[in-house]
Amino acid sequence: MTSSTALGAQYDDIHRALSVKIDENRLIRDPLRTLAYGTDASFYRLIPQLVVRVDNEEEVRLVLHEARQHGVPVTFRAAGTSLSGQAVTDSILIQLSDNWKAHRIKQQGRIISLQPGIIGARANQLLAGYQRKIGPDPASINACMIGGIAANNASGMCCGTAQNSYNTVQSARIIMVDGTVLDTADEASRAAFAKSHKGLLEILKVLAEKTQDNPELSQKIRHKYRLKNTTGYSLNSLVDYKDPFDVLLHLMIGSEGTLGFLSEVTYQTVIDHPIKAAAMIFFEDMEATCRAVTALKSAPVSAVELIDRAGLRAVESKPGMPDVLSSLGAQAAGLLVDVRASDSAELEENLQQVSKALDGLATLTEIEFTQDKAVYDSYWKIRKGLFPAVGAVRPVGTTVIIEDVAFPVEQLAEGVLELQGVFQKHGYDEAILFGHALEGNLHFVFTQGFDDPAEVSRYEKLMDEVAQLVAVKYQGSLKAEHGTGRNMAPYVALEWGQEAYELMWEIKRAFDPEGLLNPDVILTHNANLHVENLKPLPKANDKVDTCIECGFCESSCPSKSLTLTPRQRIVLWREIQRLQASGEQPERLAKLKADYDHQGIDTCAGCGLCSMQCPVGINTGDLTRELRHDRHPDSRVGHWLGDHFDSVTSGARIGLATGQGVKGVIGNSGMQLITKVAHKTSGGAVPVWHPEMPSSSPSMKAIHSKVSKLKDLGVHQPTVVYLPSCATRVMGSSPDATDKRSVMEVMLSLLEKSGYKVVMPSDVEGSCCGLAFQSKGQFSVAGQKANELNARLLEASENGRYPIVCDTSPCLLRMKETLDPCLELYEQVSFVSEFLMPKLKVSQKRSKIAVHVTCSTTRMGLADDFVSLAEQLADEVVLPADITCCGFAGDKGFSTPELNASALKSLAKAVDGCEAGYSNSRTCEIGLSQHSGIEYQSIVYLVDQLTH
């Protein structure tokens, strides 16, 4: 038996043992998902042999037990936004399922306990009502999870060192490598641990005493943590604490999964100041900029972000950037200074102190702080756009690398200038520098190819010289906040010196004597680790080639718990293209392609929410639609449907009416059985019956009749063009709806009540925006239908003279993207809010309602308007935090109902106690009603019912 065969047999044994208690669908070994789930944001590629999606502590303990039994390493993984290679493995990857989102808030928000699967931004949402937040504020806070935030001791732009996880953690639940669970806040747990792990606690006690008795080492540690520092283990725990439980707790922070698993973290929260102001301040050169940083060190500022000239140049042409950026000199640099306070008086006092600190310093422009949200946001957009600005323009096949170092702030200017020189010396002319200046923390971003040995060698020489400059010459930190990972593990000894380095190995051996927890991360004996197992980034498709695999998109994706996320779809498509180009591993390629059809293409909602989270604006749905087109090119059937669309919609109405009649005889279960067979035999042409399948809408003849009977108020009556979408022209109310009117009838009622004259486009029965065809990759007919609609709307609106309202949000977004810019297009929420509500009076309110903001509404920037409208009509509005796109995706709720079910699995609990739910897309409302336990309708129903 070969060694590889023996290794495979080990994983077979582990798989069998785990399958006794863990569902097979959470034990993943196929080529597609191991690659997808094993990819993180770093530039390393290791493919796990087994991915286990664990639901609870018992399952973590079970996996650890089996790993120890077989001597197999494990790696823990939360969101996978790690940049330094700490979340990849070629062994067992323990990945969090969706079951790790519990929390407890105590002491009016001053304390919060969080399971590791909660996204950082969600934790802050939970605390917002108390005007509190967690201390760490990494740039990835909308995607990264608490487990990773704590395990990497992530900080961020305003957090500094005082508010990072190390300094704000109060307690934790920790699973040790032997499966023992320690709750550091529970006396009984501590007492039991003191008996079972007396040896470990004794080692920690001795290490702390020895360190504190060593003045030179203690001073070095204090100096290192005066800066931001995540290189190596948190040795400051050995000088800050004497109690071994405190030492243990704080060693876990920043340990990157190499000492144990954090199953819950309890934080002391910090004040979230509601009043904010910011200024962009420009200086002649980097030296003058750094002098200003030193002057601001003792001022009441929340953040001081340094941006070098290359960074400013990278974003100066972006929309919304200040004009002054393009006129700055070649050596100029800037500071984004942010000041926050509890009230206006405190803010004014803080601003005066900041101005005083900057007195006498020459600036290129006048210092002006703004509280205007648009301007304030534009300043932070400059800062946050730096990383993607490099990533978006890098040559295909290269990766974008972001490193973070820290200099003593009093030597920041010298350090920056020398660092820029190192980049120029090694030919990294595109590198940009920016960072959290108050902490001396700098990020440098550059592009790097790894497909050429000469390029790998150039990168290695660069990092060697950077390490000498930062860690040795300036006694700074090689990893200020991104974690050591694999990338800096070979340099830990260089930065810390041999004595401290050996201390770290003693800690590792005490916690993990067999070396099974994330080996080679933080500590390694492999001097070349940082240039091994480098991730290929081949050309795959123009629509996604700029992807940097950061994972920011994943939290918004409706298929994230069912199949794949946008990042994973791109990772897999890149691998498929790589294998096709190289001719390698034909059997693996065939398996990947076969599995990708369902996992990558069929279960993608194409909602585009990923583009709103993506640093480089990628809409992975565009790739999916192209692949659908390649699979089923524009067809005669598609064009026939487009040419006979009036007959199609009329037939669909008849089909719904017939279906409801048959359902009355055989019930929902009988209808589902029959239609599933028909769906399969028809190749998907017949939809599967849905329990919330609506009744049919009135005929368009009946709607035209209603329009003709609307009141004529004379020449001063405002006019609107009303376009009912094909969905509302076909689908009426839900079978159990209390208000049986169709959306069209409700819209006409509201428009009449508000005094509007209504015009409908000619041949509205045959009109379609093209979205239904586009989503299936039928691009030609989609364009044809858009062109037809454009002509009809130009005619109906008299070339844009009258506003146009459409009653379905996704259709309106498609219209905005494809129709003539002169057309004044509104979807129902924006039109009702802007034009109808000022004419109406709210006569009563609902007590508690739920709102679902569709993905298209979010993409159009109307989410706040939707919530604001709902708040005028109800005392309490519930917006489920974990629900993004509902996954119904046009007709996928009929053809791929598991996508809708997965996307909405937490909905029922989130809307418990609500009277009803409201949205602005008829198909979305079908799935929302089924999975919530309450009726969802268009928001126009509520407006019409509660106003006069």
The structure's pTM equals: 0.94
pLDDT in tens, 203-240: 999 999 999 999 999 999 999 999 999 999 999 999 99
DSSP string, 232-246: SS-THHHHH--SHHH
Distance CA 243, CA 249 (A): 10
Distance CA 89, CA 74 (A): 8
Find tokens 């990494």 and name the residue. Answer: 138
Classify each residue of 321-347 as buried b or exposed e, where b means 16 or more C-beta atoms within 10 Å of its C-beta. bbeebeebeeebbbbbbbbbbeeeeeb
Q: Which two tokens stand for residue 105?
A: 């808030």
User: 332 versus 736: which is more confidently predicted?
Assistant: 332
pLDDT in tens, 620-656: 999 999 999 998 887 788 889 999 999 989 988 888 8
Please provide residue 233's backbone torsions phi and psi, each rounded to the nearest 5 degrees.
-80, 165
* pLDDT of 249: 98
* pLDDT of 902: 97
Strands 270-271 and 825-827 turn out to be: unpaired
pLDDT in tens, 667-702: 888 878 888 777 777 666 677 787 888 999 999 999
* pLDDT of 714: 79
pLDDT in tens, 530-539: 999 999 999 9
* pLDDT of 3: 57
* pLDDT of 158: 86
Cβ–Cβ < 8 Å for 739, 825 = no
**What amino acid is encoded at 176 in this protein?**
M
- pLDDT beyond 50 at 2: no
Nearest CA to 136 out of 369, 483, 376, 382 is that of 483
DSSP state of 697: P
Distance CA 568, CA 576 (A): 12
- pLDDT beyond 80 at 499: yes
Please provide residue 38's backbone torsions phi and psi, each rounded to the nearest 5 degrees.
-90, 0
* pLDDT of 107: 97
> What is the pLDDT confidence band of residue 1, given thresholds at 50, 70 and 90?
very low
Share of the chain above pLDDT 70, in %: 99
- pLDDT beyond 90 at 831: yes
Cβ–Cβ < 8 Å for 903, 885 = yes
- pLDDT beyond 60 at 557: yes
pLDDT in tens, 155-177: 988 888 899 999 999 999 999 99
Distance CA 420, CA 353 (A): 32
Q: Is 388 helix (H, G, I), strand (E, B) or coil?
A: helix
H or E segment at 891? none
Nearest CA to 570 out of 592, 541, 591, 594 is that of 541
Q: How many C-beta neighbours within 10 Å does residue 580 have?
A: 14
> What is the pLDDT confidence band of residue 357, given thresholds at 50, 70 and 90?
very high
Q: What would the mean pLDDT of 459-467 be, rounded to a whole number?
A: 97
Please provide residue 221's backbone torsions phi and psi, each rounded to the nearest 5 degrees.
-65, -45
- pLDDT beyond 90 at 390: no
Give 3-state DSSP helix, strand, coil % of the chain, rounded to 5.
Answer: 50, 15, 35
> What is the pLDDT confidence band of residue 7, given thresholds at 50, 70 and 90?
low
pLDDT in tens, 392-404: 778 888 998 988 9
Looking at every residue in the chain, the average pLDDT score rounds to 94
The listed range with the strongest mean pLDDT (194-198, 309-313, 446-450) is: 194-198
Q: Is 51 helix (H, G, I), strand (E, B) or coil?
A: strand
* pLDDT of 12: 96
Share of the chain above pLDDT 90, in %: 84
